[in-house]
Amino acid sequence: MEGFNVTYRVHAIQRMFERNVSATDVLEVLRHGQVVQDYPDDTPHPSKLLMGKTANRVKHVVVAENHVDKEIITITVYEPDPLKWEPGFLKKRPQ
């Protein structure tokens, strides 16, 4: 992330507002979060799902990485549902 600009899609900003997640929270997940899933074939840029904990709340952040323009694009932010995720929020429960 060092040297990259972080931008936010409108969808991400809406979800952050609805879910009381600050830009500082998102940056903390980007800096220190764990990769839950990589999507290297996503277009127009590879993306990934990150998990981190801020303010005693677990958050998932989906970002795309535009390496050409040195940009991290925040796509969405949410708190994972413990009924849908294994403890630790790194693996989905079987449906």
Instruction: Note the pLDDT tens digit of each residue in 31-79.
Output: 999 999 999 999 999 999 999 999 899 999 999 999 999 999 999 999 9
pTM to 2 decimal places = 0.93
Q: In this structure, what token pair is assigned to residue 19?
A: 């879910």
5-78: CATH topology is YaeB-like fold (3.30.2310)
- The pLDDT score that the predictor gives to residue 1 is 66
Q: In this structure, what token pair is assigned to residue 85?
A: 């995720």
Indicate left, alpha or beta for 34 from its phi (over 0: left) and psi (-120 to 50: alpha): beta
For 32, phi then psi, to 5°, come to: -125, 0
- Domain positions in the chain: 5-78
pLDDT band with cut points at 50, 70 and 90 for residue 95: confident
